[in-house]
Structure 1
Amino acid sequence: MPRRTATMLASTLILIALLCAGVLIPVPYSEMSPGPTVNTLGDARGEPVLQIKGHKTYPTSGHLNMTTVRVTGADYDMNIVEAVYGWLAHDSVIVPHDTLYPNGKTEEESTQENAEEFSQSQESAKVAALKELKIPVTSRVVVSTVVKDSAAQGKLHAGDVIKAVDGTAVTKPEDVAKLVTLRKPGENVVFTIVPAKTAAAAEKAGKEPQGSEEITLTTRKAPSEDPANPSEDRAIVGIQAGTDHTFPFEVDIKLADVGGPSAGLMFSLGIIDKLTPGDLTGGEFVAGTGTIDDAGKVGPIGGINMKLVGARNAGARYFLTPDDNCAAAAADTPSGLTLVRVKTLADAKKSLDTIRTGDPAGLPSCSAG
């Protein structure tokens, strides 16, 4: 066989071997890509995303789109070829697998966590929107979860309203842990609560829960979070406190197959638009993202660049961008999309007023670096 032919054959075989290796050998990476966007003012799967009963609502126009990111599953084995293609593509991002699924988190665990965060974001979105409109919302501290085999198991239950700990009134979830840790492990602590069933019945009737009772728990020693500095004195009872709310009318958010907390801002704006005369957007296509807390503070999210691409592909002209995501967003903004920096729900609402008047030069912008 001529030397040139042999060399070409050997090179071809090596190339084939490398391609096979590239396809068969998994690498520890995952892919993020633009997900679907949903207009919070419109419908999803045949029903309105925002459903309000018991209060006057108004017609809306334009778009206030929440944005999403698709990610590969926890069990998906990406190969070298896919990773290289993703690195070269503009509409996807390749990240270490542990970035999306830290500490060996399974896809089921990640889905459950995202569902819980999505539920909490809906609650905060409703609270923030109604507070922005000066509509009263009643809030109370409740037992969110009870740890298995803890001192509280069987005595406290999820949904119990916590009125006081050792006689000191509780107004915020963090008050509970502070008051419990005033005790030493092994000492008793007294919770004044309204049982979950009583509280639920009162909420359904639109009333403040009544009929409290006292529950005595014996505290236990908290497990050490740092083996080098063991905690010997911190007392716990094995619950996580949270906040529950009573709304003056019904506000439901109907959106399936979406997780995480990043749609909070856009849900709040959609609720405000439906509860007030006129259009927040003036008919413009506005998309955005951002977590939101009960006070209306907007927080950062992940996958900002993928959400920008998804929004622009859907037709958005403006993108409401959390302040902490601004630099990354400004470094790679799709053509034709105007970034609008927001820190609070009030900021976002003010920016929509500016967009509606047709003067984008007055919008707070994002800058790279």
Structure 2
Amino acid sequence: MDTLLNEAPCGYFAITDKGLIQSVNQTLLTMLGYDREELLERHIESTMSVANKMFFHTYFYPYIQLYGQVDEMYFSFRTKDGKDLPVLLNGIKRNRDGNAVIDCVALEMRKRIEHEKDIMKTKQQLEVLYQQTNEANHRLELLHAQYEKKQQELMELNERLEALASTDPLTGLKNRRYFQEQLQKYTELSEQTEAAFSLCIADIDRFKSINDTYGHPVGDLVLTRLAQLLQEQSPAEAVVARFGGEEFVILLPGLDQEQALAAAERYRAATETTPLGDLRITISIGAATFAAADTELSLLQQADQALYHSKNNGRNRVTHYRD
């Protein structure tokens, strides 16, 4: 960590998707009263009270998974000597070296806010319960068990929210956002390792006439059945996503130009020979293979140009950009 970031006038830390601390600057260490070795690889929730863990799960995780960032969240950490540290928390989810990382900045606040009052009230109630009789201690154990259950439910909810955020609701495939994240990941990987990967864009031929003739419910059924067919024809490591409308995209890690053409032809042939209810449809496909000078945008443009060529040369065919 460079000196400017380490000694910045605000706390900084980076955590994994699972909440493990990967990096922390000296400013935040001083604010919390910890040494660096005491926090690295520990869970971020180890610096929180029970009430703040619940608050963190209820607001921070869902927002970061759904929107990719959290802005101006009022929050409190627990210092090493047990004191509350009110902060203004900002976070953003990034992809670094192929891994999801959440970068956070914490600015110490002088005034307590309404959320902190609620947290302090809960803290005081817990302290009273701990000081009461064995019966009260037993009730606290029951409350703690309920909290653990709620925490597990929240974690499961967060996982479902993350899945919903990356899934197309109609077809069940991954959505455009997820595809773009994976395209960036494989582009960076290929730049570093020269590993081959290819991209296909498939478009249903004359899809508008299906909607116009049979109605949108039948059109939706065609999209759903085709999505299932493309997924079944794809290798396990492929990423199949709905790009929008009647367009689908397939990322094919490890496949060069010749292999990508063969895979695209399998998609085309399987679609042509597989009845979708009472209908038979065809698809046109454009393919492109990553080269050293390519970017995410240029690779998409190449596949799109190849698709345009397939459409203008009779449809129901496969074209690779380099051809």
Q: TM-score range by the shorter chain?
A: under 0.3
Structure with higher helix content:
2
Larger relative contact order (CA 8 Å, sep ≥ 6): 1
TM-score, normalisation: structure 1 = 0.24
